[in-house]
């Protein structure tokens, strides 16, 4: 009796670069589709409102039909809806976002002017909240159930539950206006003093002094985003088998935590940080309004009160595009750090 050995067909493993290439292409296509959806929503959002768009934009200033017709022709509202959409796409891709009804300047120039204060405010607070929050989450996970873990979790959750504008007002009352015999230490608002040149060294320091309270407010409000995610991820990693193997090889517990557990636990935090970077462009509307910071948030708030639809369209487009790009960057980075997500 003869025995026939049947070998299973071998399949060549898919190369890492080829697998990541397909992953990359899929994420880029998804980002492009999301951006196109944002463009469609951005166009139709202000055109599905009841009433005549020209009369709404004109805010009742037209006393004759000729003035109304001229306004429609100037802003292209007398064209068909498909033609308006094609013009909107062309203007968007060429950087022509319209003319502000309030400031009478191109919306692109206005957004670019207001972008830097927002980046300084929200960007600085995002970096500080990431560094401090990750460190708090690490210490809380290492000492789970201890006094530091309970206090830090309670404090960060309390700060997270507070409205940002209310926390900002508390800081203004306590540290800017002063309470009782305690004098105010910080400015109550604004980006810099009126008698200081912002481009000089004194002006830079003055701007940093004005941004101290807004940055502290946003940093405290964002701490829970990073500390709780880092704490949860690190607790999950501390129970993995590969850490037991590392300890069995003779590595000290502190080395196992820092060089093995923390690295893998940082993956979800990295994704959250990358996504939150996209929200830097959108700004913090309430904080910029409370502290009178002339950024994109305050610009959007002012445009809502008029309303200045061209500014709202431009701000919405820039903010949405930044989030989509940041989300794409987070997905691509996560695909490099953890190959399992490519499946």
- Which residue would you say has higher pLDDT here, 183 or 224? 224
CA quadruple 102, 105, 107, 111: dihedral, nearest 10: -90
Average pLDDT for 65-81: 72
Task: Kindly state the average pLDDT of the residues 266-270.
Answer: 78
Phi, psi dihedral angles at 184 (to 5 degrees) = -75, 135
Report DSSP letters for 63-112, one per residue. -SHHHHHHHHHHTTTTS-HHHHHHHHHHHHHTT---B-TTT-SBHHHHHH
- Percent residues over pLDDT 70 in the chain: 83
Q: Which residue has the higher pLDDT, 202 or 267?
A: 202
Q: Which CATH architecture has domain 108-342?
A: Orthogonal Bundle (1.10)
End-to-end CA distance of the chain: 45
How confident is the model over 176-197, as a mean pLDDT?
80
Check residues 67 and 80 and name the one with the higher pLDDT: 80
For residues 310-322, average pLDDT: 85
Bond from prior residue into 343 cis (ω within 30 degrees of 0): no
d(CA 281, CA 319): 6
Mean predicted lDDT score pLDDT of the chain: 79
- Any idea which of 113-127, 214-228, 264-278 has the lowest mean pLDDT? 264-278
Dump pLDDT digits (tens) for 220-257.
988 988 898 888 888 887 777 777 777 777 777 677 77
Rounded to an integer, what distance in angstroms lies between the CA atom of residue 284 and that of residue 273? 16
pLDDT in tens, 145-171: 889 989 999 999 999 888 888 998 888
Burial of residue 59 (number of CB atoms within 10 Å: 0-12, 13-18, 19+): exposed
Least confident of 32-46, 114-128, 208-222: 32-46
For strand 182-183 and strand 178-179, is the pairing parallel, antiparallel, or unpaired? Answer: antiparallel
- Break the chain into its structural domains and give their ranges: 108-342
């Amino acid at each position: 009796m003869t025995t026939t050995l049947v070998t299973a067909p071998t399949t060549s493993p898919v190369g890492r670069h080829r697998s990541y290439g397909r992953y990359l292409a899929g994420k880029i296509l998804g980002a492009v589709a999301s951006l196109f959806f944002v463009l469609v929503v951005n166009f139709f959002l202000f055109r599905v409102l009841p009433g005549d768009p020209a009369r709404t934009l004109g805010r009742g200033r037209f006393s004759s039909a000729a003035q109304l017709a001229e306004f429609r022709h100037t802003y292209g509202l007398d064209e068909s809806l498909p033609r308006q959409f094609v013009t909107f796409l062309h203007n968007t891709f060429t950087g022509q976002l319209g003319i502000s009804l309030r400031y009478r300047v191109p919306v692109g120039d206005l957004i670019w002017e207001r972008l830097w204060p927002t980046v300084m405010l929200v960007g600085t607070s995002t970096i500080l909240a990431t560094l401090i929050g990750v460190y708090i989450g690490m210490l809380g996970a290492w000492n789970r159930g201890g006094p530091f873990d309970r206090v830090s979790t309670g404090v960060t959750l309390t700060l997270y539950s507070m409205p940002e504008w209310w926390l900002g007002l508390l800081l203004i009352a306590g540290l800017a206006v002063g309470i009782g015999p305690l004098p105010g230490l910080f400015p109550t608002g604004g980006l810099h003093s009126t008698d200081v040149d912002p481009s000089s060294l004194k002006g830079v320091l003055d701007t940093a002094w004005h941004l101290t309270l807004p940055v502290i407010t946003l940093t405290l409000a964002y701490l829970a985003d990073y500390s709780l995610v880092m704490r949860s991820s690190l607790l999950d990693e501390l129970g993995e088998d590969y850490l037991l193997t590392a300890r069995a090889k003779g590595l000290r517990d502190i080395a196992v935590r820092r060089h093995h557990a923390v690295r893998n636990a940082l993956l979800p935090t990295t994704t959250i940080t990358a996504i939150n970077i996209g929200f830097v462009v959108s700004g913090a509307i309430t904080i910029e309004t409370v502290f009178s910071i002339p950024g994109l948030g305050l610009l959007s708030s002012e445009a809502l009160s008029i309303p200045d639809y061209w500014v709202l369209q431009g701000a919405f487009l820039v903010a949405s595009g930044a989030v989509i790009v940041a989300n794409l960057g987070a997905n691509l980075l996560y695909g490099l750090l953890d190959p399992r997500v490519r499946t």
